[in-house]
Structure 1
């Protein structure tokens, strides 16, 4: 979601649908951003002879600022520029094609900034794109000077799409187990709430002589049935810090014992892709590294930058700080010697991605059988605990 600082006038402006007649008698329609109805009419009166309709729009939805949205925005803008449309007109067309008011205000703000003479790179600096793609602003700034804006926007969109594909690949092995776990929990709660109480009433006052497993199961079922509201409130209260922690996952996810290694591997791939993109666009390694910050998902980028400024090569700089394999370092060192550092970074990223793919493949082979085993053991334990008294009674007879 865009903040108030990201779009200074977006909150003050309202969106108005209008229809007007031009001097030649043709009808035109569209949307316009203005703080009030009167100001919207005054702006439109400069271009059109007669206003036939103006109505406030209420299609309010938050604008997302994630990688998926930016990839679509940059791709569309690149295609419009490739078709020969000017930048200001392309931004205006994007605004008119927006699906909701907040997205319209986003593009309208960019269009106004660019129309007033502000470079696109400076205008985008207010939108938060640097949080999604750190090299976007310097790359677009260079492209504006060299005239390759269309190609640069397409490359940035491709970079974001590759990052999204990598993120989806990391999440994919957990989707099926998460679904199985959710279904298992719901089934166990349903059994504890509806089936176990039936057996508890059936056994009646024989609870004192029941096996330990059965007694514990009945106690847990009683606790769940008698304190359902308290448990639900406790669960909701526990979800709040979990949601807050998830919003800052970039600071701690790479430290987890098992998942952290794969997150760090994905961060190394993104780092290499960023360095390759910077090299292809003639951006220095120091500028690229400084844009990434001091710590990038567990990679000490700040330490790499310090070593680089001391005169060490990029391969030597990342040897102790980034956890790259010997093969990756060898590729980067060879690229430095041959003067093909961008291609070396691309090959190194491909090697790291293949290694990550192999690890994810092993995880997928292990995690699904383990989840099925856990489900079987959990439901089986409940069933066995319910029928233990029956088995004891059969032995007595």
Structure 2
């Protein structure tokens, strides 16, 4: 016989109505599972925190055929998005070009919470991202002006405090100029600090043929190929740079910490008995230890100054000119510049830009030593000579590029052959960079070991001399 379950009858029940019975287990369940509320019932701050748990990201990849592919990602933060993007890239077999966020709410909040960030960093206009977003909107069926207005509205909503950023005024200016009757290329040309001459020329040529979306996609492919080569160069130079910084830090520590202690040990010895190099090292150690903060400040200022100087284009050209005097390095630097020249020229010709204007716009991609040769080549082409012979006469072709250009002149595919030559030389450059990095790493380690070992030997050299004199 089971136990009776106690029930509670609701009081003040009206006669003729069915009594409502509330069981204890139902009461417990109702306490444990509160009714579901709409997200609009939460306070504003809490609701925003719940919504911002996940964000949308995108992955832009380059497949084996050289085509760009886009993948949509959902992650809680940028680190998770990068891990998911790497996994998706391995599955799809694509090369990662860019990982970005499709919504700027979080980044905008972070930027607004750091009011001093704008004093040290100035966000530049992201031309590849602008081209990609514009291409997506145009393919979705929007008119050009509507697409620009949409991008401007999204930019204002995602970064309301972007008044100090470079390029924040570009989109509304483009819309205003186009409404005044100017073409898209003319509106772009009004902002040369944000849009390159190559991009403006491609847009101008596409306006005559009606293939703006094809021109935008071609520019993205061009930027992706150039970015891949640049990323490989940077990744190959990171480890040697880290070795140099580590060696500098260790040498500074030895001079700052060990040299003063050895100097106190050698106080009783006459200065004439100390080797000259050891005496200089001990004096430098005493100076650094007595002015530690000033020494660290000078070292830091030297590093920052060197980084600021070498990031300027003028100093970069000077450094490249000095490196170009070394035989095998000069040949590889020239090959890198020619590969970029071939790719840019092929992109412009494929986009419908005439040959002579294309050569004139790609002149700045070459060093000063080759720009004069390109000018003479343009004169020869204007007189009726072939492109391949004109470039060969001025030393602007390689063996592979010359053969491909001649084949392109026969079948009318000069643009495609230029891109093939650029692709071939870029692959050759990346292989050379990888081999050079493998060679540079042990050489730098050897130099670092010799430098640190020399400091230690100079510190102990008076001890060795004293031991020899005692014997």
TM-score range, shorter chain: 0.7 to 0.9
> Is the aligned partner of 1:78 residue 2:135?
yes
Moved more, 233-242 or 169-178: 233-242
Contact persistence 1:173–1:364 (CA under 8 A): yes
Q: Is the contact between residue 193 and residue 224 of structure 1 (CA under 8 Å) also seen in structure 2?
A: yes
* 1:118–1:159 CA distance, 2 compared to 1 (3 A): same
Larger CA deviation: 336-345 vs 207-216? 207-216
- Equivalent position SS for 2:269: helix
- What is the CA distance between 1:295 and its match in structure 2? 7.0
Q: Could you say if the C-alpha distance between residues 191 and 237 of structure 1 is closer, same or farther in structure 2, counting changes exceeding 3 Å?
A: closer
Q: Is the 8 A contact 1:254 1:264 kept in 2?
A: no
The correspondence of residues 177-192 of structure 1 with structure 2, limited to 5 A, is 177-192=240-255
* Structure-2 residue corresponding to 1:169: 232
Alignment partner, residue 151 of structure 2: 94
Separation in structure 2 between the aligned mates of residue 154 and residue 250 of structure 1, nearest angstrom: 30
Aligned length: 337
Instruction: Give the equivalent residue in structure 2 for 1:368.
Output: 441
Give the deviation of 1:202 after TM superposition. 2.1
Q: TM-score, normalised by structure 2?
A: 0.64
Query: Counterparts of 2:450 and 2:195 in 1: how far apart (Å)?
Result: 43
**Whose radius of gyration is greater, 1 or 2?**
2
Aligned to 2:345, which of 260, 268, 275? Answer: 275
For residue 171 of structure 2, what is the aligned residue in structure 1?
107
Q: Is residue 140 from structure 1 mapped to residue 203 from structure 2 by the alignment?
A: yes
The Cα shift of 1:133 comes to 3.8
What is the match of residue 7 of structure 1? none
Note closer, same or farther for the CA distance 1:132–1:161 as it changes in structure 2 (3 Å cut).
Answer: farther
Structure 1 residue aligned with 2:183: 119
Which of residues 188, 191, 198 in structure 1 aligns to 2:261?
198
For structure 1, the residue ranges without an aligned partner over 5 or more in a row are 1-56
Moved more, 216-225 or 275-284: 216-225
Q: TM-score, normalised by structure 1?
A: 0.75
Render the CA deviation track for 1:255-300: whole Å, top value 9, x for unaligned.
2234544332222111111221122222221110012237722433
Contact 1:166–1:266 at 8 Å: present in 2 too? Answer: no
Structure 2 unaligned spans of 5+? 1-111
Q: Provide, for residues 324-382 of structure 1, a one-character-per-residue CA deviation record: whole Å limited to 9, x for no partner.
A: 32222111111111222122112211222233223213311211111101111111111
| Alignment counterpart, residue 423 of structure 2, candidates 350, 356, 359 | 350
Q: 1:187 to 1:250 in 2, by over 3 A?
A: closer
Bigger mean CA deviation after superposition, 151-160 or 234-243? 234-243
Q: Is the 8 A contact 1:268 1:299 kept in 2?
A: no
Q: What is the CA–CA distance in structure 1 between the aligned matches of 2:262 and 2:406, rounded to whole Å?
A: 70
Task: Please state whether the residue corresponding to 2:229 is helix, strand or coil.
Answer: helix
CA distance in 2, matches of 1:333, 1:244: 42
Cα distance 1:310–1:113, how it changes in 2: closer, same or farther (>3 A)?
Answer: same
| Equivalent pair of 2:346/2:419 in contact (CA under 8 Å) | yes
From 124, 127, 133, the equivalent of 1:64 is 124
The 1:161–1:320 alpha-carbon spacing in structure 2 relative to 1, beyond 3 Å, is same
